[in-house]
Amino acid sequence: MDYSILLDAAPAAADAAKTAIDRIKDSDPVAITFFIGYMAMFASAVFFFVERGSVDGKWKLSLLVSGLITGIAAVHYYYMRDFYLTQGDSPTAFRYVDWTLTVPLMCVEFYLLTKPFGAKGSTLFKLIIASLLMLVAGYLGEAVYKDNNVLWGWISTVGYLYIVYEVFAGDVAKLASSSNSPALGRAMFLLKIFITLGWSIYPIGYMLLDGNLLANVDISIDLIYNLADAINKIGFGLVVYSVAVAESGKK
């Protein structure tokens, strides 16, 4: 066995470990949000999975999806945290893998919330297609066609605006208003806030890319994305949980 390979790798591993420790010692805000994000997502997933037993059967799937969203994010944050500590940034592709799994699941939550009140599968299909357009275009602009990221950002916005339309004026909004459920009405109000304010944090991060509107602003794109993920994924789940508990308590 050629032990020289191991001997050569040892200093590199030691340097990487020292770099990671230095980032933590220096209170690197991005490193801290990766740690907090990972633990918060993991704790939320456990909470949603455990609480499935406290709601009626028709709401169990909604809480399962909430647990999957935060659980998937926790796994990705675990690896992105370690990558950032050693490299100083996070792999763009890995973050978009997370979003490609979790954002469509958020759209599934809209469908599941309104399904007891008559939501159709076609509504879910349109929401997922819009979310995929938003994500694929965003990835192409951020990682592939960087020089044209503004154009791809506008294309991504088309998918986002369709989701906004569905929630405010489309099938989702109509079903929510006709449901006669105060709990669902409150939940939809909160989800509208997440869609308009919470999700708008992501474009702010995207506009930090070279050549975009905020390119000269000295702030980490990872910090923006980490804060947005924690607010939206955990917040979405808690809103769904509040509806499930309120509706399960009806006689």
Per residue in 40-98, pLDDT (tens digit) is 999 999 999 999 988 888 889 989 999 999 999 999 999 998 888 888 888 899 899 99
User: What are the phi and psi torsion angles at 66 (to 5°)?
Assistant: -60, -40
CATH code of 174's domain? 1.20.1070.10
222-238 burial, b at 16+ Cβ within 10 Å, e below that, comes to bbbbbbbbbebbbbbbe
Per residue in 185-224, pLDDT (tens digit) is 888 888 888 888 889 899 999 999 999 989 999 899 999 9
% of residues, the chain, pLDDT over 70: 89
Cα separation, 74 vs 84, whole angstroms: 15
CB-based burial of residue 5 (10 Å sphere; 0-12 exposed, 13-18 middle, 19+ buried)? exposed
CA triplet 85, 89, 93: central angle to 5 degrees? Answer: 120
Out of 76-80, 167-171, 234-238, least confident range = 167-171
- Interval 149-166 mean pLDDT: 95
Q: Which residue range is the domain that position 204 belongs to?
A: 4-248
In the prediction, which pLDDT does 119 show? 77
- CB neighbour list of residue 156: distance below 8 Å, 6 or more residues apart: 133, 134, 135, 137, 138, 141, 206
Type of residue at 226: N
Counting the structural domains of the chain, the total is 1
Q: Under a CB-based contact definition with an 8 Å cutoff, are residues 49 and 217 in contact?
A: no
